[in-house]
Structure 1
Amino acid sequence: MEYTLAIENAPETVSGGTGLLLVHPSTVETDRIDTQFLKTDTDHLLVISTRTTAREVRQKLEHYEVDEQKATILDAISVERGYTRRQSDQVRYLSAPDNFADLIAETERFLSQSDGKRRVSLDSVTEMIYYADHEQTRDAIAEILELLDEYDAVGLFHLAAGVHDDAVVDEFRDLFDGTLELDETGSLTSSL
């Protein structure tokens, strides 16, 4: 299955099973790229947030006019911060950003219970590393990438480059089919 990428300076399409790494400075806004990825050519989308709450994710989707009816949000931060949460079909909660077993299980649940074109966004790999370490995070991301391949879905994963050693960033780049790179000015380059 082919997926359209409506992202500047990126290929027009990618094949199902493709995982993209969005590498960015921690000071640059990534919502524009993330929502361009999510709202194009898709039937169902899963937004995994280890950085912001489900409420904030909903606000982002609404602001950028992403069809919320297609969205499932997996909030990994609210429970950790002690916020009240109400699980529903469209909003799921994890106990913490480093609860990788449930993160992977919820991702597989989404992919196995939906059909058509599916997109997964994970913001952010950096937060996962903060809560666990880069080795555990790398293994969890590798499992999610395998699920994308198995279910013919595509994914976009955020990584704030400046806060990690170059060797760690390179290790994560090697997991993915391609990299989208934002610079300090918000300009994007891609290598796939």
Structure 2
Amino acid sequence: MDYTLAVADTETTIPGGIGVLLVHPSIGETDRIDTDFLKADTDNFLVVSTRTTAREVEQKLEHYDVDESRAEILDTISVERGYSRRSSDHFHYVSAPDDLEGVVDRVESFLASHAGKRRISVDSLTELAYYADIDGVYDATEEMLDLLAEHDAVGLFHLSREVHDDDEIARFRERFNVVIDLRDDGSVSVELPEA
């Protein structure tokens, strides 16, 4: 099954089962790219939020006019920050921000329990690596990409270019079929697989 990908001046389709890497500056405005990815041509989506709480993700979706009824949110930081956890069928939590196994399990559970077109957004791999180690995050990314392939879904994975060295960025880039580069000046380029 194919999925719409509309980013900046690029509008195309990508096949299900693949991941998209969003490489961005630390202070880059990624919300528009993220929400455009989530709201296009999808039945259900999961936001894995490592930087903001579930409530803040909800506010972002509302601000960008994304259909929240299709959303599930995995909040990885509320426990760490001592925030209360809101009970909801659409909110999920892990025991700690470095619980990579818990993150992968929730992605698998989401994909297995929904039919149709499914998208996930992992915001961000960089923040996960802040709590866990980079090799663990790479392995967890591999597992999530395998799950996308198994379930014919697509995912967007955020990575900050200013935090990681060139070798780390290259290692992640090589694993993804599509790479979106958001530059410091706000310009965007999209690398698509060769036909």
- What is the TM-score when the length of structure 2 is the normalising length? 0.96
SS in 2 for 1:137: helix
Q: How much has 1:154 moved relative to structure 2? A: 0.3
Residues of 1 paired with 2:26 and 2:177: CA distance? 22
Cα-to-partner distance string for 1:117-146 (whole Å, 9 max, x where unaligned): 000000000011111111110000000000
- Which 4+ stretches in 1 moved above 3 angstroms? none
Residues of 2 paired with 1:9 and 1:170: CA distance? 25
Q: Please identify, of 165-174 and 4-13, the stretch whose mean Cα deviation from structure 2 is larger.
A: 4-13
SS in 1 for 2:20: strand
Tell me the residue number matched to 2:82. 82
Q: How much has 1:11 moved relative to structure 2? A: 4.8
Residue 113 of structure 2 is aligned to residue 113 of structure 1: yes
Q: How much has 1:56 moved relative to structure 2? A: 0.6
Query: 1:1-192, aligned counterparts within 5 Å?
Result: 1-192=1-192
Residues of 2 paired with 1:149 and 1:97: CA distance? 25
What's the RMSD between the two structures over aligned residues? Answer: 0.9
SS in 2 for 1:57: helix
Q: Please identify, of 62-71 and 177-186, the stretch whose mean Cα deviation from structure 2 is larger.
A: 177-186
Residues of 1 paired with 2:14 and 2:122: CA distance? 18
Cα-to-partner distance string for 1:153-177 (whole Å, 9 max, x where unaligned): 0000000111111111111111111
Q: Which amino acid aligns with 2:78?
A: S
Residues of 1 paired with 2:90 and 2:69: CA distance? 8
Residues of 1 paired with 2:87 and 2:109: CA distance? 15
**Sequence identity of aligned pairs in percent?**
57
Contact 1:9 / 1:190 at 8 angstroms: preserved in 2?
no
Cα-to-partner distance string for 1:49-82 (whole Å, 9 max, x where unaligned): 0111001100000000000000000000111111
Residues of 2 paired with 1:11 and 1:134: CA distance? 32
Contact 1:5 / 1:13 at 8 angstroms: preserved in 2?
yes
Which runs of 5 or more structure 1 residues have no equivalent in the other structure?
none
Q: How much has 1:8 moved relative to structure 2? A: 1.9
